[in-house]
Structure 1
Amino acid sequence: MTAHILVIDDDPVQRRLLKNMIERAGHVAHMAENGRAGLDLLDRKGGLINVILLDLMMPEMNGSAFLEALAERENTIPVIVQTGQGGIETVVSAMRAGAFDFVVKPVSPERLGIAVGNALKVGDQREGGRRGGRRHRGETVHFDDIVSASPEMLRVIDLGRRAAQSNIPVVLEGESGVGKEMVARAIQAASERAGKPFVTVNCGAIPHNLVESILFGHEKGAFTGATERHTGKFMEADGGTLFLDEIGDLPLEVQVKLLRAVQQGEIETIGARYPQKVNVRLISATNRDLVNEVREGRFREDLYYRLNVFPITIPALRRRKEDIPVLVRAFVRRFAGEQKLARPIAVSAGAMALLTAYDWPGNIRQLENAIFRAVVLSEGGELTAADFPQIAAQVPGYGLSENGAVTWEAASAGIAEPLSDMRLPSVYPDFRPGESAGAPVRGEPENVIASVDPGGHVRKLAEVEEELIRFALKFYHGQMSQVARKLGIGRSTLYRKLKDYGIDPDNPLKDAA
């Protein structure tokens, strides 16, 4: 799809660079040197523009004033803010002003492409979201339906597209709720088997004595209670795709038959005299470490190597927090449509901060359920942090005040600040939100990481480095790319140091000295 993108930036060099990136991506670029010129251009070509790329710092009319003017006109074109300063304050101010997304200068063509692509999807789906229509379990899912801004998920999508070009067995690894079935359906839709059956089996939800019958079927009279012939899931999926969820729960005796189905393309129906040929694309999923299952004797090694030809690991939501705002907006739009609300529901900056601060152990499924509950119970046109009391109760430092507002309690200063101020709490109790992220509490030492030990001697460099890495992991919520970038090292170097210091990325403060 060719989109028309309005670039508002006072720097001619930056405008030229962005114009080049936009045109190389197959879109049309329109240029304006400040906010006022941008509004004039919208008056002339407003119906043509799909996305606005807006600089914040400009003469005459800056980005914030432009966003206010846009809101007054009730213009719903998605706005991507570009800024030369990163950090949570910049993200918050942009979201509060109505921006859809933000990019930090100098932006790469890849990051700009992601932001524009997501904005275009919002524009395409806005009317559909107002009409309603939740995606049902059996509907076709395409890779374009998987909205993400994280490099890790973009890598998953890229691997999925490659896997779709062949019939190679795929294993999707990841925690419960990360979207393994959605990726499996997208692989099916992008393959030559699109339009053919897509059959799902949750191996962990079937009684062990029925697994074989459900997968491979049985003949009438094959065993006590088999009063009629039953077609198994393999035959139902013939010509299409069979998705085996939680494959690590398969009994060992069934694994033998599954191995034969994978190796020879034939199944043994219980009670049948001869095996049957089947043409099935097999996609498996697991939240277990299959290598460990093989080591412990609970999973056949030969079957593991047959299935694990093309593994794809889907990261947990806490590892890709940049996806949370995108997912929140998508879920709010969908559920507001289902409820047939008269107008769209917005998400306050405070609510977005709270949702981003939470680690979501149930991953996307838990986030989806939380948004659904909030939308159904909402009474106004905006979701606030107070609409997520169960989440606030589980985030350290957050709580509900007597009037129901979500606050952050400064542990060491006893200061309660409303979350509507939208400054995320620091990860260390010695800090509280201030004029800049990580500002120390008054009366506390300026340096969180001590330079000298209790004996008055300068600490070893390795000790300080380890503590700084632990702090950065907690501060940036385990986002490895951002941690490495802020520390000024490569990701491979960061992973090596984690191993050297024995740091768990999911719990960086564990076993810290």
Structure 2
Amino acid sequence: VSCGATSAVTLDSELFGHERGAVAGAEDRKQGLFEIADQGTLFLDDIADLPPELQPKLLKMLETRTFRRMGGTREIEVDVRLVAGTSKDLQAEVEAGRFREDLYYRLSVMPLSLPPVSDRPKEDRVALLHRLHHELAAELSDGPTTISPDAFDRMLAYAWPGNIREMRNVLERAMILARGQDQIEVEHLPGEFRARYGLGDRRHTPVSLDELERQHIERTLRHHDGNRTRSAVELGISRATLINKIKRYSLK
């Protein structure tokens, strides 16, 4: 579940459940994900976007393995392995006062840092593209079974600011457009692949990855008339992450 995709009340109900009448429209008792995941594992994505009012509740659950449903009085005990993910620097969020320091240390039992797609070696990006194409080909029976060398080269050269989610979205879109054909061609890729890496543009213009990301986000927002929700979906990132990037790059 994403911690930045909904309101604090809705997320509280989703994670910890609620009693009948605790929230508007709650006609029945609801079990939360922590209760459902008892003796198992729960993954919380975008943990840096966890609303401040829910951070103490999550900390208590991690320390005591107990919590109360919204509107409840009984402590519920669970044994859940929690895995949390974020694209932000959590330590920087702590220093900025947006994330509790005690919760940060409670979560940082075994941190794993995964490099963005743009920082991965070429062989990793090749493997990712092949793997995602193979998975999508199994889902779309009438989709193309190969990718043309030109289209593949352009995808390898792309910065992928939205990381693997964006890569999967671009490939899925291309496969849908290329249904009934043998392979994915450049014409099936989004406009930025055809424009920036077009055949007539062979000159090398030095540009930072941050600038590539800024340009791509700006184009995507313009394509969706400034709609942040649709833009975030196309980029393969959460709406909260997109808003942070808009602020970072001073986009309108």
TM-score computed with the length of structure 2 as normaliser: 0.72
Q: Give how far 1:223 is off.
A: 5.3
Matched with 1:268 is 68
Distance in 1 (CA, whole Å) between partners of 2:72 and 2:206 is 65
Alignment equivalent of 2:141, drawn from 325, 340, 360: 340
Distance in 1 (CA, whole Å) between partners of 2:175 and 2:187 is 12
Matched with 1:151 is none
- Helix, strand or coil for the counterpart of 2:4? helix
Matched with 1:374 is 174
Q: Give how far 1:315 is off.
A: 1.1
- Helix, strand or coil for the counterpart of 2:99? coil
Q: Give how far 1:340 is off.
A: 2.5
Q: Report the identity percentage.
A: 41
| 1:15-414 alignment, distance < 5 Å | 201-222=1-22, 225-320=25-120, 321-341=122-142, 345-378=145-178, 380-393=181-194, 395=196, 398-399=197-198, 407-411=199-203
Distance in 1 (CA, whole Å) between partners of 2:106 and 2:195 is 42
Q: 1 or 2, which has the higher helix percentage?
A: 2
Amino acid in the other structure paired with 2:50:
L
Return closer, same or farther for 1:355/1:226 CA change in 2, 3 Å cut-off.
closer
Amino acid in the other structure paired with 2:133:
V
Distance in 2 (CA, whole Å) between partners of 1:326 and 1:354 is 15
Given that 2:8 and 2:54 are in contact with CA atoms closer than 8 Å, whether structure 1 keeps it comes out as no
Return closer, same or farther for 1:318/1:261 CA change in 2, 3 Å cut-off.
same
Given that 2:20 and 2:28 are in contact with CA atoms closer than 8 Å, whether structure 1 keeps it comes out as yes
Q: Give how far 1:317 is off.
A: 0.8
- Helix, strand or coil for the counterpart of 2:20? coil
Q: Give how far 1:309 is off.
A: 1.3
Q: Give how far 1:284 is off.
A: 0.8
Q: 1 or 2, which has the higher strand percentage?
A: 1
Amino acid in the other structure paired with 1:274:
R
Given that 1:247 and 1:285 are in contact with CA atoms closer than 8 Å, whether structure 2 keeps it comes out as yes
Distance in 2 (CA, whole Å) between partners of 1:288 and 1:335 is 28
Distance in 2 (CA, whole Å) between partners of 1:213 and 1:345 is 43
Q: Give how far 1:230 is off.
A: 1.5
- Helix, strand or coil for the counterpart of 1:322? helix
Instruction: Compare CA radii of gyration and give the structure with the larger one.
Output: 1
Question: Which runs of 5 or more structure 1 residues have no equivalent in the other structure?
Answer: 1-200, 400-406, 412-425, 430-469, 474-513
Question: Which runs of 5 or more structure 2 residues have no equivalent in the other structure?
Answer: 210-252
Given that 1:213 and 1:232 are in contact with CA atoms closer than 8 Å, whether structure 2 keeps it comes out as yes
Larger RCO (alpha carbons 8 Å, 6+ apart): 2
Distance in 2 (CA, whole Å) between partners of 1:335 and 1:238 is 32
Distance in 1 (CA, whole Å) between partners of 2:139 and 2:14 is 35
Give RMSD over aligned pairs. Answer: 2.6
- Helix, strand or coil for the counterpart of 1:204? coil
Return closer, same or farther for 1:356/1:408 CA change in 2, 3 Å cut-off.
farther
Given that 1:266 and 1:275 are in contact with CA atoms closer than 8 Å, whether structure 2 keeps it comes out as yes
Q: Please identify runs of 4+ aligned residues in structure 1 that moved more than 6 A.
A: none
- Helix, strand or coil for the counterpart of 2:200? strand
Distance in 1 (CA, whole Å) between partners of 2:71 and 2:185 is 60
Distance in 2 (CA, whole Å) between partners of 1:428 and 1:222 is 56
Q: Give how far 1:336 is off.
A: 3.3
Any idea what the Cα deviations from partners look like across 1:384-431, whole Å, max 9, x if unmatched? Answer: 334325242453xx33xxxxxxx13345xxxxxxxxxxxxxx4559xx
Return closer, same or farther for 1:270/1:340 CA change in 2, 3 Å cut-off.
closer
- Helix, strand or coil for the counterpart of 1:203? coil
Distance in 2 (CA, whole Å) between partners of 1:338 and 1:254 is 38
Distance in 2 (CA, whole Å) between partners of 1:211 and 1:376 is 34
Amino acid in the other structure paired with 2:201:
E
Distance in 1 (CA, whole Å) between partners of 2:35 and 2:140 is 39
Count of aligned positions? 207
Matched with 1:445 is none
